[in-house]
Amino acid sequence: MAGGEQLFSRPGIWLGFLIVLPIAVISGLKPGGGVPVFVILLGLTSHLDPWVVVCVAIFYKAASDLMEPVPSILLGIPGGRSAQATVLDGYPMAQKGLAGVAIGASYTCNLIGGVFGALVLLALLPFARQLILIFGSAEFFLLTMIGVMTVAVVSSGAFIKGLLTGGLGIAIAMVGYSAIGGDIRATFGLNYLYDGVPLGPLVVGLFAIPEAVALVVGGKPVAGKRVDLLMKEADRDVLRGIVEGFRHFRLMIQSSAIGTAIGMMPGLGAPVAHWISYAVARNTEKGAHQTFGKGDVRGVIASDAPNSSADGGELFPTLAFGIPGTAGMSIMIAIFVLCGFTPGYSMMTNHLDVVVALVYVLIIANTLTVPIVMVFAPYLARLTLANPAVLAPIVIWVAMLAAYMTTNSVADLAVVLIFAMLGLFMKAYGWPRPPILIAVALGEIMEKYLWIAVNNYGFDMFARPQFLGILAVMGLVALVGVRMRRQVASTVKEVRQEAVAAGSPGAAMIAAALPDAEAEVAPVAIAKVPLRDRITLELAGEIVLLALVAAFLGYMLWDSTHWRFSDRLTPLIGIAIAALFWVLRVGTIILSFFRPIQISSRESQIMDTGFEKGMNTTEARLRFFQIFGFTLALALVVWVFGFHFGATILLGAYLIAIAGLSWFWTGVIVLIALAILVGFYDQLLGIPWHVPLIVELLK
């Protein structure tokens, strides 16, 4: 009960809910996402009540997930990977004038699914707590290691790159002062890195900046008149859709259970759960093979109920064992750690009230969001039409401010730029980024548990029944995951072909929307190209990335010769893992010189930074250099002129000169930015800003 008391006795939490609710709705409605709320919260962890930060983060995730199916229904464009199957029946319903029915059913099953997932999570907490109590340091080390390496399961088709990145993440996590033996490790002589690589700038660089760049390079605004018309249609018959949802209550519960169960399996989550649920309903519901894919409301229910119910499932391994249910949960782990709530033993014993409160937040997010959205969605939908060229610099400005809040140092922005370039390379060449974040967040406790286990058990730690049991369970989960992904690939291929063959409403849109889902699950060879063509797309850049990784690992290995064994053990494990899979990746590249190579359908995109085949590459490159140049310039002007003057003026200049925004709206945005800096950061938080270089020179 303490969790509920804390939740309802802290007004800051409810104020945070009110602030992020419209942002969550807009982000969910906008294909590709919107404001990086998680990044902002990371920057505020040292300034706000930890309870406020973690509750608002979970509320935002649940509320935005609930809105993702709407673009799939209205536009045939998945709002997220967990809403791709919704296109199959939701979009044909919209084409028939039944958009309101589809959205009403979607709201209903998301609400029921979200509450179902939260209640299952609550019911499992006592069992998880008892299970945690039988584990020792060896098992906790293994769980943290699995948390980092889970990305090998998440990144289907990138197993070698996933484990390579996991090892690299462990090595990066070991930079800085060691609390075990007291050595200073791999800091390049920089005092700034004494406490390790800060999480805030790392997240902004690895995630926020590359996504903003992809947004402006490949962003395509949706026609405003079309959205207005669709939202007016969607506003009708919503109540009928709600009734339809409850008419198929058994299907809602079945699909919610599938979503929660699959959400608990690390590496799967909602993106897989909604396809499995759709496939099960298609094979069990009466007449589904004849009507699914042609505008059947049962198809919407089957695909959308797991969307919210998976949230409770994904939180279970995240909170109880520190294993992220999905790649997106890696940022949640970082937020928990920075707030002092370390997932695993500490969370389930010392902070169980926080876990219970988060269950209530899931229920509140779903029950509060649905009625509000039913009233205000047509108005909020207009905000999703923001030009990517306008939205991206605002996102970058907000993200850089959040990164600066980590230590209130310009050095934070330098770290952002370094990891932004690394993130762009990794995103471009299919290297998963979440393991670096998880490793940096959990690296300290991983090292602590390993050293305790080595001292307590020695090599006997590998023979402990608990240790072997965890390995067996994770092996089983991995096998089940592979089988499910294959089933999803088969389902996607089958329903796409049927939609096109049957000529169902919006068949062309459906066919265009699904190949990415199929390729994410099981890449399919569609072409053999000469090596010289492959170099232009991927090989040259990846060689540079591999060289940078080798240089860092080599430097850490050389530096480790001066450390105590206790401080060398965990870094060497990270280096060994990264080196092994580095060699395997290089071997794969070398083999490509001697045989034709196959390109998956996912490579219809040129890398993964927004460039697409068929677009004007000259204009795309120009947009890329403009937005990345803005990022570099932003860090520079903050150093020289400060945030209040330099950053706001640069933002305004970019919006007018590059984005083509009017003077009026640019002025409004700049004034809002100044109000946030002065009113929130200066007056409310009392942030100690650095002294700008220009002021130092004038002195």
pLDDT digits (tens, 9 = 90+) for 129-173: 888 888 888 988 988 888 887 755 555 457 788 889 989 999 999
**For 240-247, what is the mean pLDDT?**
85
pLDDT of residue 608: 43
pLDDT of residue 524: 37
Nearest to 647 by CA among 473, 401, 449, 434: 401
User: Phi, psi (5° rounding) for residue 514?
Assistant: -95, -20
pLDDT of residue 521: 39
Q: β-pairing, 525-529 with 184-185?
A: unpaired
More confident residue, 414 or 371: 414
pLDDT of residue 523: 39
> What's 105-140 look like in SS3?
HHHHHHHHHHHHHHHHHHHHHHHHHHHHHCCCHHHH
pLDDT digits (tens, 9 = 90+) for 109-133: 888 988 999 999 989 888 888 888 8
Q: What does the mean pLDDT of the chain come to?
A: 80
Q: How far is CA 259 from CA 102, 117, 350, 491, in A?
A: 19, 8, 29, 17
pLDDT of residue 629: 92
Q: To the nearest whole percent, how much of the chain has pLDDT over 70?
A: 79
Q: Which of 47-51, 504-508, 585-589 has the lowest mean pLDDT?
A: 504-508
Tell me the CA end-to-end span of the chain in Å, nearest whole number. Answer: 58
CA 455 to chain centre: 37
Using an 8 Å Cβ cutoff, are 580 and 168 in contact? no
Among 182-191, 365-374, 678-687, the range with the most confident prediction by mean pLDDT is 182-191
**For 232-240, what is the mean pLDDT?**
65
Confidence of residue 648 (pLDDT cuts 50, 70, 90): very high
Question: Across-strand partners of 527?
Answer: 599
Confidence of residue 526 (pLDDT cuts 50, 70, 90): very low
Q: Given a cut of 80, is residue 228 above it in pLDDT?
A: no
Q: Given a cut of 60, is residue 535 above it in pLDDT?
A: no
pLDDT of residue 595: 60
For residue 312 the two structure tokens come to 């409770």
Confidence of residue 229 (pLDDT cuts 50, 70, 90): low
* Rounded Cα gap, residues 86 and 68, in angstroms: 10
pLDDT digits (tens, 9 = 90+) for 590-639: 876 666 544 444 433 333 444 444 455 677 788 888 999 999 999 999 99
pLDDT of residue 597: 47
Q: Please, which residues have CB within 8 angstroms of residue 532's CB and are 6 or more apart in sequence? A: none
697 burial level (CB within 10 Å; 0-12, 13-18, 19+):
exposed
* Rounded Cα gap, residues 36 and 58, in angstroms: 14
Q: Given a cut of 80, is residue 26 above it in pLDDT?
A: no
pLDDT of residue 571: 94
Q: Which of 253-257, 287-291, 609-613, 679-683 has the lowest mean pLDDT?
A: 609-613
Task: Output the CA torsion 545→551→556→559 (10° steps).
Answer: -170
More confident residue, 547 or 600: 547
Backbone angle region of 610, left / alpha / beta, with phi > 0 → left and psi within -120 to 50 → alpha: left
**For 63-89, what is the mean pLDDT?**
72
More confident residue, 39 or 607: 39
* Rounded Cα gap, residues 607 and 605, in angstroms: 6
Confidence of residue 445 (pLDDT cuts 50, 70, 90): confident
Radius of gyration of the chain (CA): 25
pLDDT digits (tens, 9 = 90+) for 378-428: 555 555 566 778 888 988 998 898 888 877 888 999 999 999 999 988 888
> What's 135-189 look like in SS3?
CCHHHHHHHHHHHHHCHHHHCCCCHHHHHHHHHHHHHHHCCEECCCCCCEECCCC
**For 26-44, what is the mean pLDDT?**
67
Q: Given a cut of 70, is residue 520 above it in pLDDT?
A: no
* Rounded Cα gap, residues 52 and 203, in angstroms: 20
Q: Given a cut of 50, is residue 580 above it in pLDDT?
A: yes
How big is the chain, counted in residues? 699
Alpha helices in 345-464, H assignment, sequence order: 345-349, 352-380, 388-404, 410-428, 434-457
pLDDT of residue 379: 59
